[in-house]
Amino acid sequence: MRNSERLNRSRIFYFSLFTFFIVVFGYLIVALQDLVLPVLMGTLAAYISLPGINYLRRKGIPKAFAIIILLGAFSFLVFVLGQKIVSAIPSDKEALELRIQLQYKLNENFLAFLGKKDFESEGNIVDNLIGDELDQMFESINSFLALNKSEVAEFQSYIDNALVSKRILFFYNDNLKHPILPAHEIKEITQTDGGMFPMVSATKSTSRIAIFLNAISTWIILPFVFIFILIDEGEIKNFFLGIVPNRYFEMAFTTFANVDKAIGNYLRGTLLQSALVGITIFLGLLFIGFKIQAAILIGIVAGISNAIPFLGPVIGLGTGILYAIIVEGIDPILPFLPDNPLLGVLVVVLTAQFLDNAVFQPLVLGKAVNLHPLVVVIGVTGGSIIAGFWGMLLAIPTIVIFKVVISTLYKQAKEYYIIY
């Protein structure tokens, strides 16, 4: 009798504790959503680094030094890559020039594809068949790229101050011949009166600083999460296992260990695979004559997005193609490589994808967590709806973690006679 009362009290206690924990955790997730991504990234980085730490410890290096070495290596990598990326990020003027150049080159390639001299003339068979549909698609792309009123005024000031090269000026004037109105022009007109662009850009830069500072203040937590998770000698695991009742203790530990192993292998496998794809594309683009900054940037984008099933390679290809459209006259390092940038990007991305499927994936065995393609497609789409690009990127690892946790828990619960 006394025992059953105690059992009931225990149940009420654990249930209340669990509910309290869920409510507090849920509230914190919503209230501190800006911190979720840095904490998640710090945890992932620590998780991925664990074998590296173990390797250094096997070599006789104390854990604290091993963490410092890894942190130093990470910081160096982020610093070097960050510098390259920052130098590749265009200024306001360069961004406008890039858009003008991209719009011109897109139209030029589009007309060449349809076999037309200008938008009014007759084209080839493709133009006859689907020219109208493609025209509509291109109009929306053009309206996205075209400069709005305040941007036109800003660019005009650069022209007046003779800061624009003849080539860009030619592209700009040519773009103006094409009668496309920017999509958000009306919105912009209500926001800015004529000649107010200096104020607009001033506001823009202030907000950029604010965004930068905000990002720094939240992302500063990442290295701390990284360090403290690596320093942890099992205290986190011990805490959670400490609150597990005796009956589930061995099962809880085994589930924890199996999930840890499976997720660790999956994440490290995915990272290794993405890194290999990114490096392949970077080297490939370098060989076909792309600038080093551009090759690094496209390599990083292609590498990161490669973690997104199906869509990843398309994003990598798209980024490469966008750059290939703008770039003029590449000089391949090796003579047999194509000197057409578009063809070059296509060859590089296809080669990287071939290597990924034939060599990298079989090498990275740990990544073998089977997911139905439909789950992958719905997961990626759902992730993009919830949290944009990061949602797309993290959707599959999240699904994999849930799948591994649930399947391991189910298997262990059966083996320990907790469920039938």
* Amino acid making up residue 354: F
249 binds other proteins (CB under 8 A): yes
CA 252 – CA 26 distance, rounded (Å): 23
> Which segment (101-109, 173-181, 230-238, 285-293) binds other proteins by CB under 8 A?
230-238
Which residues from 68-127 bind other proteins, rule CB under 8 A? none
Q: Is 235 in the site for other proteins (CB under 8 A)?
A: yes
Would you count residue 5 as binding other proteins (CB under 8 A)? no
Is residue 400 within 8 A of residue 263, CB to CB? The reply is yes
Spell out the long-range contacts of 366-371 with Cβ–Cβ below 8 A and sequence spacing 24 or more. 366/264, 366/265, 366/266, 366/268, 366/269, 367/265, 367/266, 367/269, 367/270, 367/273, 369/262, 369/266, 369/400, 369/403, 369/404, 371/396, 371/399, 371/400, 371/403
Q: Does 420 bind other proteins (CB under 8 A)?
A: no
Could you say whether residue 217 binds other proteins (CB under 8 A)?
no
Give least dist CB 252 to other proteins, A.
10
Total of chain residues touching other proteins, rule CB under 8 A: 21
Q: Which stretch binds other proteins (CB under 8 A): 74-82, 112-120, 207-215, 240-248?
A: 240-248
Residue 64 half-sphere exposure toward CB, CA atoms < 13 A: 0
Q: Which one of 110, 228, 248, 287 is in contact with other proteins (CB under 8 A)?
A: 228
Which of these segments, 188-196, 229-237, 298-306, 356-364, binds other proteins (CB under 8 A)?
229-237
Asked if 415 touches other proteins (CB under 8 A), the answer is yes
Residue linked to tokens 């047999």: 336
The answer to whether 58 contacts other proteins (rule: CB under 8 A) is yes
Indicate which single residue of 11, 57, 117, 204 sits in contact with other proteins (rule: CB under 8 A).
57
**CA atoms 26, 32, 268, 347: torsion sign:** positive
If one asks whether residue 231 binds other proteins (CB under 8 A), the answer comes out as yes
Q: Does residue number 248 form part of the binding site for other proteins (CB under 8 A)?
A: no
Q: Is 364 left (phi over 0), alpha (psi -120 to 50) or beta?
A: beta
Cβ proximity to other proteins: between 27 and 240 the closer is 240
The verdict on 234 binding other proteins (CB under 8 A) reads: yes
Q: Which residues bind other proteins (CB under 8 A)?
A: 54, 57-58, 228, 231, 233-235, 238, 241-242, 246-247, 249-250, 253-254, 257, 415-417
